[in-house]
Structure 1
Amino acid sequence: MAALVAAEAAVTRGPAEAAEAAEAAELSRVLSRLLPGLEADNKLGRRRALEALQRELEAARPEAPDADPAAAAAAFQGPWARLLLPRLLRCLTDPAEGCRALAVHLLDLGLRRAARPCDALPRLLPALAARLACPEPARRPPPEPCEELRLALVQLLGLAVRLGGTALAPHLDDAVRVLRSTLLDPFAAVRRESCECAAGLARATPDHFHMQSESLIGPLMQTVSHQHWKVRVAVIEATGAVIQFGSGKSVDDVLPHFAQRLFDDVPQVRRAVTRVVGGWLLDLRDRYSFFHKLIPLLLSGFDDDIPDIAHEATSLWEKVGLQWQTENEEDLKDKLDFASPPPAHHPSPERRPGLGCRELVFRNLAKILPAICHDITDWVAGTRVKSAQLLAVLLLHAEDHATQHLEPILRTLLHACADEEGAVVRSCISCAELIGAFVSPEVFLKLILTTLRKSPSAPGLLVLASVVRGCPREALRPHVKVIATELAQAHICQGPENPVYGERLLLCVQALVAGSREDCREAALPLLEVLVTVLALWGATGLGDKVQETLAALAAAEGVDGSQDLFREHLGPLLEWVAASHRDWTVHSAEVLLLDVVVTHSGPALGEALPQLVPILRSCLQPARDPALRLQLFSTLTRVLLRAQEAADARGQLRGCLDTVLKDILVPNLQWHAGRTAAAIRTAAVSCLWALVSSGVLSDKQVQEVQETLMPQVLTTLEEDSQTARLLSCRIVGVFLKASDGATEPDKFIKIYPELLKRLDDVSNEVRLAATSTLVTWLECIRNEAGQCCYRSSVQHLYRELLVYLDDPERAVQDAVLEALKAGSVLFPDVLVRETEAALHRHRSPAYCEQLLRHLQAAPPAQ
């Protein structure tokens, strides 16, 4: 029976085999006729022979619909392997470039048509190696000089790899030797094709490739930074396959180069790194050994500028986590069966990473963190940015497991928050907020506050503000007062004179007020102390508006209306806090600025605190104290007195302290002492006195009391070198005269006008005009006196002196003096007429004297 079946099969196969043999014989005949031309001495003959072979092979393709490709390939196999292949391989060394190109093309056709292309590998691979492999170690140029031909030869090698499959295993040495050279070829297309060929070779010979894979890593890594992005992508993809099917030991050699490609400007390159690393995490045989090295590369893609790359990195990471979770299901059984919900204070609970992802990060965090902490201080800005972003992603995965690594993390954040790159600082802020969300306040406050006590710094305050901002209210509640009290310590709230430091300090208060809301009532006083300090030390740098907003928020949290009510609630303790060391103050003491802020922002509440404030000022404004300090405090006191009606004396409280202000503060500082500093202090005291008498809070009787006490000193200050002092002194004398209403003793009264007359020769026209105005007031006081006759000689002298200034070069002074004479003419008009007529001929221009005479003639006779 078996013999019968075999006989029937032989009968069936007979015609097909006969046709195949006939076709092979015909092809052999044709090739035998054309092949001798390949041995021609001239290149034209060889080229014509090759072109004829090309036409014959292309015409011999089975194009009929019913043709059997397998039979045609079988018929082609014999003549190809026996006649054509050896001669074409010899043509690869032909001197003519065109002949070599045709030979490569014919080899490509032959491999594609042959039934058993693997049979060609023992001769083809050595021939390709001879044309493409550079001699080592000299690294001379490859034997094939033409770039296009080298590309065609590499493409031919790639075809052999695809067709040969596992049959390439015995020829791996030749193939790898070729690729080691072509991966470094000057022609970019050759490098790209070589990368594809290397990847194909790795996939085709998985059981043997690991023995040769390491030799390709060096050339690949030399090409990974090629200027053409497509070459870089090809290298990354090839490296993925070479390591996937080769030796895992090469991962360590590749990772630094891949990490650099994460900064590549071309998105396709970064996407390739993400895909390759994700593939390794999923499929690499010994991937568990490299988790701590591969995870950072994949997670770095989460913050890529291209959303598609970030999404792909996220998707791959989710797959890695699920796969690892499945592989370790028994180990995670309890956590899977009793899955905990996302923390209530999770920043994005709907996007919480899966259990596998979280566990992978947690178990490898100790190995990953040291490298991140190192790279976040790198000199390259891009490295610092990526490291800070990666740290935030890791903390989001680690959640409360970050507690055991908190010390190095906080140390890193303190350093990185001082970075000049805004992106680094923003990522560090996010990291600190995550710490606040996941870590217990008892833990992070102990570390942060200890650091601030030892060395207050702007980065330390920024970290504190960020963790407080991220901390949930219920966890923060027991610690609000502790934090506020610590911030209010002098060495922290009065730290470096750096605007950034003040801004960070304000951020801490804002975070506390916003995070704790009504819970910060118990800490309102220390928080207010910090805000006062920020306003005093850094308000001029642009923080004033932000401080006012924070004061309003603190007032709302405490349940009072606005910042003035907030100051009213705490004004007494604030003054005690500021004045605790007032006996040791100098002009450089921060408390001087703090006092200025407190009294300036207290509003009407300041009046209630005057009994507490005035003794402080009295102590600090004594002549024995630092002159610069006294100048600063006089400026503060002047501002208080200028706003006395709506603030310090809103309810008449200033009257009770008036005697102390006059006798213990102003009188000692108006005394004359030699030196410019003493003169500046007298000017400041005069300014303060002017603010007092011009504020409108003193009655005429009180002004008279001030006059009795200070008139001698004020008359002395009319001679000061400071124009401001002379001007204000003139005005103060005018206020005194108006309030006296003729009640001054004649002897003292007569002594006033000569001092004012001297001011008519002042270098400042403003002072001269003020003195003239005050003289008018002096004359009006005499008009109200019952016994004017006792002042006749003094008035006559004044007339005579004023008439001199009717001829003054300054028109404004002439007009003011004329008005003064007109106002004083009602006292003794006959005397003024005589004096005017006597002075008329001495003036350069008699116009003003004539105008005065006309006024006197038109005036009604004195009664």
Structure 2
Amino acid sequence: MCKPLLRRFDDVSEKCRDLAASCVLKLLRSCPDEALGLLPYVVPVLEERLRRKPAVVGGGAAGPAEPSEEVRLTLAQLFGFLVSQVGQAVCAYAGEVLAVLEAALGDAYHEVNLEACSCVHALVASLGMRLQPVSKQLVAGLLPLTTHKRYRVRVAALRALGPLMHQGAHEMILEMVGHRDPNMVPVAAFYGDPDLRVNFCGKLAADANAQVRLEFLRVVGDWMLRLPERVDHEGRLLPFLLAGMVDEGPQVSCEAARLLDQLGEQYEQEHEAEVKELLRYCPAEAAATEAAADGGITAVNSCTGLGALASAGGPGAAQQEWLPTALAAAPPRLGARLLVQGNAGRLLAPMCAELSSWQAGPRTRCVALLEAVLLLLGRKAEGHLQLLVPALTKAIRESTTRQQVESCCALLGRACSVPELLALLLPRVRDAGADACARADALLALAHVLRGSGAGDGGSAAEAAPIVLELLLDPEVGESDDKHLRASCLEAARQLIAACPPAVLAEHAPQLLVVALLSLASDRAGLVRQDATAAAAAEAEVAAMQAEEAEQLLRMLAGAVGATREGGGGGSGDGSVDRLLAQHREMVLRLVIS
């Protein structure tokens, strides 16, 4: 019965072709044991009807021999059913099968694309590594579907790509991330043949649909955990996994945290000697627990940094908002941190370059990712300060990402050596030949470094206090005519007061008083000089706000110093400010005159 029906597959009537294909499909479903015997007859016919015809000069355009979308869908379903039933016998028709799949994957009808993706998944399950000779061709056919306008097609393409990459197609990961070998020059591009690369992984990680992002994350996690060549592609895939940690979808971020924990556990098992040595000689840095039962490592959980301080209710509890949601819920284990630290160089360079992107969307995602990476790096970020500090000072003025960039600066201040950070930031603030806004940005970054340094016991901020106060008392900084620089100066003084212990504040109270008074005098002088223009009114409003901030700084300092001198009853009103000024009047006058 099937042979006469197969002859009707090229009938001139669309209805006849549709009925013939449907009848053959129903017959095979009712008698699946006969699929193997019909394979020599059905496969050539399907190849002829689904394979794309080349364009003819002066004739028709390129396209499949079957013009009807509904009939092509039925033919694709018939092909998929055959592949699922005959198993390894389909290898005898490898050329025809590959041609049909390439045509179906490139079909304009999305339902045909879905059937083709299901067929690829079935082929991988039945053939396994026998697909190695054609696996790269199949991946190349699936990649365009990851940018399809329908999310169901993108999800289906990812589900087919996941297991297919294990069949010898791992080199196609380079195509997925848009990799370009720096040692190879695309000579053909000089002669009009463009060498275009598409970062499919980047598009999938930023997909508008949460289901696509979740499926992509699972595929990346599967490759990083089970791909035999996973070490070769670890540095290329890790950024997309970390991007899931800061995803706006809670399901995606939780899945990313789970995968990162599995990667950390795998790292600890594969580098057991390294982890044991770290636990033995650097226990404080590792912050891990070692099982004594068998001498092995059963649970190595990282609770250092801001996560430990917040969970312990210590001074860092106020900084809990720095933590990305997934990291705050489950602090990363030691293996995960070591994995990120080992790939820090490859992670930070492109992120620092992306911070200056003109597009707000990529810039926002990049800052969120950088925040998570810095938290995982911890003290190891000191080796990359030459790269991080210029990028953060340049990006801190952007209104859309300012809060997160400030958090990144605070994380650096919490984890890294404050003297090293000051050595990089102070020359930028003192550079008289630089733009005033650039100097103000560097000073603002310094202020939030001080905020981070005070998350512990305040020792780092106390050591930096004399150097910072000397900077703020510099006439070119504290008495500058630029409103941005004066505002950054006030912010640095405020963060210094918040970070330092009361005893240190009492010691440096005269210098802090001078900083606040000079700013207050400059802002009030600006209020007096204003004329009646609209621009002058706006400047007067800014000057009034800065004057109010300077007065708040005085009250804040008086409250902190008064609390330590009077056992907590010093208050923070104008009376306490007057008492503090009276107490340090001589030193304040001497500093102002000098």
TM-score by length of 1: 0.54
Give yes or no for the alignment of 1:427 onto 2:427.
no
Q: How does 1:95-114 map to 2 (within 5 A)?
A: 95-112=12-29, 113-114=31-32
Written as runs of structure 1 = structure 2, the 5 A alignment for 1:174-185 is: 174-185=96-107
Deviation at 1:290, TM superposition (A): 0.9
Q: Bigger CA drift: 291-300 or 217-226?
A: 217-226
- Alignment of 1:189 onto 2:111: yes
Would the aligned equivalents of 2:135 and 2:168 in 1 still touch at CA under 8 Å?
Answer: yes
| More deviation, 432-441/338-347 | 338-347
Indicate the SS of the match to 2:272: coil
Alignment partners' CA distance in 1, 2:121 and 2:403:
41
Q: How does 1:503-518 map to 2 (within 5 A)?
A: 503-518=487-502
What's the counterpart of residue 563 of structure 1? 577
Unpaired segments ≥5 residues, structure 2 = 178-198, 289-301, 312-329, 525-542, 563-569
Does the C-alpha gap of structure 1 residues 131 and 502 become closer, same or farther in structure 2, counting only changes over 3 Å? Answer: farther
Cα gap change, 1:177 to 1:405, in 2 (>3 Å): same
- Contact kept in structure 1, 2:469 and 2:512, CA below 8 Å: yes
The one-letter code sitting in structure 2 at the alignment partner of 1:468 is L
- Counterpart CA distance in 1 for 2:523 and 2:143 is 53
Task: Kindly indicate whether the alpha-carbon contact (under 8 Å) linking 2:430 and 2:439 is maintained by their aligned counterparts in 1.
Answer: no
With over 3 angstroms needed to count, the CA separation of the structure-2 counterparts of 1:100 and 1:544, relative to structure 1, is: same
Code of the residue aligned with 2:259 in structure 1: it is L
Equivalent residues in 2 for 1:93-132, closer than 5 Å: 93-112=10-29, 113-115=31-33, 117-132=35-50
Structure 1 residues 771-790: aligned runs within 5 Å: none
Aligned residue-pair number: 494
* 1:369 paired residue number: 348
The alpha-carbon distance between structure 1 residues 121 and 459, as it changes in their structure 2 partners (threshold 3 A), is farther
Please state how far the C-alpha of 1:493 moved relative to its aligned partner: 2.1
The separation in 1 between residues aligned to 2:287 and 2:446, in whole angstroms, is 28
Q: 1:444 aligns with which of 421, 430, 433?
A: 421
Describe the shift of the 1:97–1:542 C-alpha distance in structure 2 as closer, same or farther (beyond 3 A). Answer: same
Change (3 A) 1:120 1:526: farther
SS of 1:213's equivalent?
helix
> Against the structure 1 CA distance between its residues 233 and 345, is the aligned structure 2 distance closer, same or farther, given a 3 Å change threshold?
closer
Kept in 1: contact 2:35–2:85 (CA 8 A): yes
- Does structure 2 retain, via aligned residues, the 8 Å contact 1:324–1:356? yes
**Paired position in structure 2 for 1:528:** 513
Kept after mapping to 1: 8 A contact 2:447/2:492: yes
Matches for 1:446-845 after TM superposition, within 5 Å = 446-454=423-431, 455=434, 457-471=439-453, 472=456, 473-495=458-480, 497-498=482-483, 500-518=484-502, 519-538=504-523, 540-559=543-562, 562-580=576-594
* Equivalent AA in structure 2 for residue 307 of structure 1: P
**Aligned with residue 319 of structure 1, among 259, 262, 278:** 262
Aligned position for 1:357: 336
Q: Secondary structure at the match of 1:348?
A: helix
1:634-684 CA-to-partner distances (Å, cap 9, x unmatched) read xxxxxxxxxxxxxxxxxxxxxxxxxxxxxxxxxxxxxxxxxxxxxxxxxxx
- 1:484 Cα deviation from its structure 2 partner: 1.6
Comparing 189-198 and 167-176, the one that deviates more: 167-176
Q: Read off the aligned partner of 1:276 and give its amino acid letter.
A: V
Counterpart-to-counterpart distance in 2, 1:528 and 1:325: 52
Once the two structures are superposed, residues 712-765 of structure 1 have per-residue CA deviations (whole angstroms, 9 ceiling, x without a partner) of xxxxxxxxxxxxxxxxxxxxxxxxxxxxxxxxxxxxxxxxxxxxxxxxxxxxxx
Q: Rg bigger for which structure?
A: 1
Change in Cα spacing, 1:191 to 1:535, as seen in structure 2 (3 Å) is farther
Name the CA distance, whole Å, in 1 between partners of 2:303 and 2:333. 16
**Structure 1 residue 337: Cα displacement:** 5.8
- The yes-or-no answer on 1:296 pairing with 2:239 is yes
Distance, in Å, in 2 between the alignment partners of 1:170 and 1:490 is 85
CA distance 1:446–1:147, change in 2 (3 Å): same
* Alpha carbons 2:105, 2:142 under 8 Å: kept: yes
Give the letter for the 1:205 counterpart: L
Match of 1:332 in 2: 275
Distance 2:256 2:558 in 1: 47
Q: C-alpha displacement at 1:469, in angstroms?
A: 0.8
What secondary structure is seen at the aligned counterpart in 2 of 1:174? Answer: helix
Letter in 1 for 2:147: S
2:429 and 2:440 in contact (8 A); partners too: no
Compared CA separation, residues 205 and 440, structure 1 to 2 (3 A): same
1:346 aligns with 2:305: yes
The 1:246/1:167 distance shift into structure 2, 3 A limit, reads farther
- Quote the Cα distance in structure 1 between the aligned partners of 2:405 and 2:237: 22
**1: CA distance between counterparts of 2:404 and 2:449?**
13
Q: CA deviation at 1:532?
A: 2.4
* Amino acid corresponding to residue 87 of structure 1 in structure 2: P
Contact (CA 8 Å) 2:511, 2:588: kept in 1 or not? no
Counterpart of 2:125? 203
Shift of 1:100: 1.9
Return closer, same or farther for 1:215/1:567 CA change in 2, 3 Å cut-off: same
Query: Residues 494 and 284 of structure 1: is their aligned pair in 2 closer, same or farther, counting only changes over 3 Å?
Result: farther
Partner in structure 2 of residue 140 of structure 1: 62
Q: In the alignment, what sits opposite 2:531?
A: none
Report the secondary structure of 2:66's partner residue: coil
Residue correspondence of structure 1 range 11-90 to structure 2 within 5 A: 84-90=1-7
- Tell me, yes or no, if the aligned pair for 1:206 and 1:246 is still in contact at 8 Å: no
Residue 676 of structure 1: aligned partner = none
Q: Structure 1 residue 223: deviation in Å?
A: 2.7
Give 1:391's aligned amino acid: L
Q: Distance in 1 between matches of 2:367 and 2:427?
A: 24
8 Å CA contact 1:202, 1:246 repeated in 2: no
Deviation at 1:468, TM superposition (A): 0.9
Task: Give the partner amino acid of 2:43.
Answer: L
Q: Does 1:405 align with 2:384?
A: yes
State the identity %. Answer: 28
- Distance verdict in 2 for CA 1:165–1:562, change over 3 Å: farther
The aligned amino acid for 1:261 is L
Cα distance in 2 between the residues matched to 1:360 and 1:259 = 21
**2:409, 2:256 → 1: CA distance?**
24
- Maintained 8 Å contact 1:429/1:463: yes
- Amino acid of the structure 2 residue aligned with 1:313: A
Instruction: Report the residue type matching 2:287 in the other structure.
Output: P
Residue 196 of structure 2: aligned partner = none
Counterpart of 2:90 in structure 1 is: 168
Distance 1:246 1:401 in 2: 36
- Counterpart of 1:298 in structure 2: which amino acid? L
Instruction: Give the CA deviation at 1:180.
Output: 2.2
Aligned partners of 2:429 and 2:442 also within 8 Å: yes
- Distance in 2 separating the partners of 1:178 and 1:324: 42
AA in 1 matched with 2:448: S
Change (3 A) 1:569 1:125: farther
String of CA shifts for 1:272-317, please: whole Å, max 9, x gaps.
2211111111122211111111111011111111211111111111
What stretches of structure 1 of length at least 5 have no aligned partner?
1-83, 581-863
1:165 and 1:531, CA in 2 relative to 1: closer, same or farther beyond 3 A?
Answer: farther
Partner Cα separation in structure 2 for residue 459 and residue 155 of structure 1: 61
Looking at structure 1, the residues matched to 486 and 104 of structure 2 have their Cα atoms a distance apart, in angstroms, of: 61
1:161–1:201 contact (8 Å) kept in structure 2? yes
- 1:257 aligns with 200
Letter in 1 for 2:579: D
Amino acid at match of 2:100: V
CA distance in 1, matches of 2:70, 2:586: 91
My pick for the range that moved more, 280-289 or 335-344, is 335-344
Higher RCO structure (Cα 8 Å, ≥6 apart): 2
Distance 1:428 1:496, change over 3 A: farther
Query: Using a 3 Å threshold, how does the CA distance of structure 1 residues 452 and 194 change in structure 2: closer, same or farther?
Result: same
Judged with a 3 Å threshold, the aligned counterparts in structure 2 of structure 1 residues 94 and 344 are, in CA distance, closer, same or farther, namely: closer
Specify whether residues 494 and 367 from structure 1 end up closer, same or farther in structure 2 by C-alpha distance, changes over 3 A only.
same
